[in-house]
Structure 1
Amino acid sequence: MPPLSPAVHSVSAAAASSAFLYSYCRCKTQKTIAFLWNNGAEHEQRHYPNSFQDQGMRVGDEAVAVETDSYPIIQLRRTDPTGELTEVVCLESDLQDGQMLEVEVGHHSVLVTRSDGKYSAIGNQCTHYGAPLSKGFISGTRVRCPWHGACFNVQTGDLEEFPGMDCLPCHKVQTRQRARHFSSDICCQFNLSFSLLKVRIQNSKVYVTVSKKNVGHEKRIKNMAAAMPGVTHTVLLVGGGAASLICAETLRQQNFGGRIIMVSRDELLPYDKTRLSKVMNVESDSIVLRRMEFYHQYDIEVWLRKEALAVDTDKKTVTFNDGSVQSYNQLLISTGCRAKGLDVPGMKLNNVKMLETPEDARQIHAACLGCNVVLVGTSFVGMEVASYLIDKAASVTVIGSSELPYQNTLGPEIGRVTMMMLSEKNIRFFMNDNVIEVKGVDGKVKEVVLKSGKVIPADVLIIGIGILPNSEFLRGSKIQMDSKNFVTVDKHMRTNVPDVYCGGDLATFPLAMAKNRMVNIGHWQMAQAHGRIAALNMLDKRTELNSVPFYWTVLLGKTMRYAGYGEGYTEIVMKGKVEERKFLAMYIKNDEVIAAVSLNFDPAVSAIAERFTSGKVITKKEAHVRMQVVWIQTVRHTVSVHVRTTPTCKQQIPQTHAAFWDI
């Protein structure tokens, strides 16, 4: 018999009543030996009858040796005739309440969590952009994505906070008590001392069962109804963005059986608008949120290339630009905003661009290749476009009316470092300046003249100086708007007119975390939340909006994450060093933290967002004190797992838990 080694050897233990095969492996420490059963021995086989049996093992099951520094785990990979796969993923003592562990079951990444002594298992990849949730923040029964703040219920896999469209697969979890002694005859057969093999495992094992149909599928569409024959109740959704789509889906998820009509002026089905400034040559098909088959399956009518001209709230009708009139029982208005242009001579020249649609993005990409580009505006979108064009345009020049980018929203320190990041890539900045004229030759942009007198060569001019609400068609209606022509709503997304709701960029709404201050926030995540709340209240499921704004921006492949509402802040508490491009900034107003932004500091912003969601206040004093110690702590434990697919294969499984003021 070959000597023991870290490799796995298989040995037959064929009892009269059950033909079990088991194998043994030795840990690197040479102090522990783990035994397991295996239905297919690939190595040397020996006959050791009735040595020991695992009463939970069946013929046809596969077992995997799991090696740790302190104890052996016999990991069972059970194949079920019903198409399920069961594996031992850890011991019950491995996780405490409020902790999570990333494991693999059948090559499927699974997040195992523990809350109030109860184990749960869901898919580990966020359904938005695939972030590992194990690196996020867990609070109670939900986990928040470290990248963009989406939240999932760890017991159901349901999406509880946006962004994102889909839920996660949810897996069965069981714990079983195991207590074994390795018998002395095995020791004799192996010619080893009994003291070396005398191992007792007395701990509940955690088993996760994955349906084979879920392997390779990291997303799950929540169950939805379709229209019911004879139900004439009509919900009309004017606008083809995030709010309308989520409203439609939420209605069907809540078993609404009436008619749903979504009307959009776009030529494309609802798509992910956040990608337009980040990947400008994107193909339209790759950013569509749902295929037409989806809308057909759930009886959601989609009318494209159609624009609302008027709303009659007395007759409950909407008139469109093709002359058609559609009646409604309930109406959601989510027509969004459009880019604001410059009011200077030369704006009608060719190659003056504004970014609104996927076609705009592709045209900007094509027009800028090898050309001199001038970009007006230092908003988040404008800076993303500048970053995208660095290695594509011959030159990129940014014109800003403030002293620094993001000066009002993120503060001078962060504005300065972001400007430095782009300047290092040869982007030029002309700040505290404005465009007064655009000059052209043969109908095309040639030069941009600034208020300071500077003249900048330009082949392409991109305008990104703000937005205007698409609310002109409401001016003759009874729907109330604010001084900037945004539609005002309450916590339930209701306007002042019964059965009329508004959501998305067009809405001014009370923000719960800002003491119900009326705000307008043009964020993708918030628009999705508006759509959900509007749908629930249409169905008389009285639900108030309680979402915390969560935004992200990408520069040179680095992502800054922002949570909260920082308008009017008076002080910034900083952790890390901005100049090293690894920091967490907290914005203070009235001695309370009202917002936070980070770069290379995950999952801090997700933890803070969860704190805001819970309604707990972070005081200025608390922020300062916590900043000076280990204020946000990430604890990682690593378990080495011998996976049987190749005997020497090792997989490192990190266990991450972020602790933040006892959330």
Structure 2
Amino acid sequence: MPKTHHVIVGGSIAGVSAAVAMRQNGFSGTITVIDAEPLLPYERPPLSKMADAQQALRPIFPQEHYAEHGIDLLLSTRVRRLDDDRRRVELEGGDSLPADRVLLATGVSCRRLGVPGEELAGVHTLRTAEDARRISAALARGGPLVVIGGGFIGLEAAAVARTAGVDVTVVEAGELPLLGPLGTPVARLMTRLHEEHGVHVITGQTVRCFTGGTAVEEVVLTSGRRLPAATVIVGVGVTADDRLAREVGATCLNGVVTDQHGRTDHPWLWAAGDVAAHIHPAVGSRGRIEHWDVAMRHGAAVGASMADRPTVNSAVPYFWSDHYGTSLQMFGRAQPQVRVVLRDGATPERFAAFWLRGNRLVAVAGLDEPKTVRAAKAVLDAGVPVSAESLADPSTDLRALSRGPARQTLSSSG
């Protein structure tokens, strides 16, 4: 009898983690990972830091790791379609693979603005190693750089460029950069951090068009203002790369809809990582979570489930973002109708922030505050009631707080 074959589309951290987890959970069939890029699957978080120069691209695993786990890699290979009836994965060029189960770990694609001049040389998105290489080469020739969109990737690239002495302007359509993921108090601190390092921040504006000969020379804003630009990075969000799922009729709602184990409403089709719209236990509502750590853990859980060891990723979502030699770390997700509490003494260079729903901590973030963030995560994990006043007070022992009132009393009484 032929071996059972699991095909993973996408050499992302979710896809690679799923492949390894299949082996670790006893799957003995064939595993094939298909990826369109020619490189070994690599870590994506460093890409927005590569604009400063020569940071080496880091493979997720070395080549021999895949051989040791019996994982076949098909690189520089694109999937044309999934044949739902014959259970085959059809590749561009005409070849196809049999697949007892398919995992989509295709991630996301960068949104485009859809404005005139967007195809000019010098207008970039940042998603792949090749994108990062082009931007790095462009910034080495000098600025000015205009970043469209005040999200994490754009601001990280802005920080790297400013550190290298490049003139940088960030154009954000909303009231503040990072307002959606962080809320007003924290977004205001992060904006001030960038402004103090010389980044020009323009809010409430977007792009009317890009102008230039063969390469971009100016960014024209909706107000009519013109910004000189030698390089532009467009970072206005992403869309789920769910084409293959949609074409076979799987349900997609801002991503591929899956159950808690990663299975879609097509029994042979699964999804993990950024492309998957699932209900995370720590969030409670369906959606995609575009964080490296979450994708890694979700991929591993789905891989175990595909090996018939049903597993749910219940770890609290975590991400980090680097700016000017400091790291913003966050556990949990900022959600609507929650209160944001800043710890007393917060500055743009160092702060801790807490998100409260009623008297329950749902998220914590800190810039250059790793110990505080880790201690607050213990409070979050414990689910104990807390007050805004105690969180705001730097003298509060968060680890003692996480043990609850009874254990705090016992501890204090000796």
Q: Output the TM-score relative to the length of structure 2.
A: 0.91
Counterpart residue number, 2:145 = 373
Q: Does 1:460 align with 2:231?
A: yes
Whether the 8 Å CA contact 2:354–2:391 is kept in 1: the answer is: no
Structure 1's 558 and 463: CA in aligned 2 closer, same or farther, altered over 3 A? same
Higher relative contact order (CA 8 A, sep 6+): 2
Equivalent-residue separation in structure 1 for 2:60 and 2:54 (angstroms): 13
| Residue type of the alignment partner of 2:336 | G
The residue that corresponds to 1:418 in the other structure is: 190
Between the aligned partners of 2:136 and 2:394, the Cα distance in structure 1 is: 46
Corresponding residue for residue 553 of structure 1 = 321
Partner of 1:661: 402
The residue type equivalent to 1:406 in the other structure is L
1:510 to 255, 279, 290: 279
Alignment check: 8 A CA contact 1:414 1:578 kept = no
**Letter of the aligned partner of 2:339 in structure 1?**
E
Question: In structure 2, how many angstroms separate the alpha carbons of the residues matched to 1:611 and 1:492?
Answer: 27
Q: Could you tell me which amino acid in structure 2 is paired with residue 631 of structure 1? A: T
Over residues 327-377 of structure 1, what are the superposed CA-to-partner deviations in whole Å (9 max), with x where a residue is unaligned?
Answer: 111211110111111111111111111111112112101112322111101
Check conservation: 1:372, 1:393, Cα contact below 8 A: no
Find 2:103's aligned residue among 332, 342, 345.
Answer: 332
Preserved CA contact (<8 Å) 1:607 1:660: no
How many Å apart are 1:281 and its aligned residue?
5.6
Give how far 1:446 is off: 0.9
1:598-647 Cα deviation digits (max 9, x unpaired) = 122222322333444x4x4244x5343354474335xxxxxxxxxxxxxx
* Mapped pair 1:566 → 2:337: no
8 Å CA contact retained: 1:307, 1:320: yes
CA distance in 2, matches of 1:420, 1:536: 44
Q: Is the 8 A contact 1:344 1:437 kept in 2?
A: yes
Closer, same or farther: CA 245–660 of 1 in aligned 2, 3 Å? farther
Structure 1 residues 466 and 372, CA gap change in structure 2 (3 angstroms): same
Q: Give distance in 2, aligned partners of 1:580 and 1:336.
A: 32
8 Å CA contact 1:487, 1:508 repeated in 2: yes
Counterpart of 1:662, as a letter, is: R
1:522 corresponds to 2:290: yes
Q: Does 1:487 align with 2:256?
A: yes
Distance 1:536 1:585, change over 3 A: same
Matched, 1:345 2:113: no
Aligned to 1:408: 180
Tell me the CA shift for residue 571 of structure 1: 1.5
Structure 1 unaligned residues grouped into runs of 5+: 1-229, 634-657
The CA RMSD over aligned residues, in Å, is 2.1
- Given candidates 280, 290, 314, the residue that maps to 2:51 is 280
| Equivalent of residue 72 in structure 2, options 289, 295, 301 | 301
Q: Give the whole-Å Cα distance in 2 for the aligned partners of 1:285 and 1:605.
A: 29
Could you tell me how far apart the structure 1 residues matched to 2:3 and 2:379 are? 43
1:610 & 1:489 partners in 2: Cα distance? 29
Alignment-derived partner of residue 500 in structure 1? 269
Q: How does 1:10-159 map to 2 (within 5 A)?
A: none
SS in 1 for 2:282: helix
State whether structure 2 residue 383 is matched by structure 1 residue 617. yes
- SS in structure 1 of the partner of residue 42 of structure 2: coil
* 2:217 pairs with one of 435, 446, 471: 446
Q: Within 1, Cα distance between the matches of 2:115 and 2:46?
A: 29
Q: 1:632 aligns with which of 392, 397, 405?
A: 397
Q: For this pair of structures, how many residues does the alignment match? A: 403
Change (3 A) 1:393 1:438: farther
Matching residue of 1:107: none
**Conserved? CA contact 1:508–1:519, under 8 Å:** yes
**Which of 87, 92, 97 matches 1:321?**
92
Match among 152, 160, 170 for residue 398 of structure 1: 170
Between the aligned partners of 1:231 and 1:246, the Cα distance in structure 2 is 25
8 A Cα contact 2:185 2:342, kept in partner: no
Q: Could you report, residue by residue, the CA deviation over 1:575-595 in whole angstroms, capped at 9, with x for unpaired residues? A: 132226332211123543221
Q: Which has the higher strand share?
A: 1
Alignment partner of 1:540 is 2:311: no
Partner AA of 2:7 in structure 1: L
Q: Distance in 1 between matches of 2:394 and 2:321?
A: 28
CA 1:285–1:584 in 2, change beyond 3 Å: closer, same or farther?
closer
CA distance in structure 1 between the aligned counterparts of 2:102 and 2:116, rounded to whole angstroms: 40
Contact 2:160/2:324, CA 8 A, preserved across alignment: yes
CA gap 1:314/1:281 in 2 versus in 1, 3 angstroms: farther
Q: TM-score normalized by structure 1?
A: 0.58
The 5 A counterparts of 1:588-599 are: 588-599=356-367
Give aligned-pair identity as a percent: 27
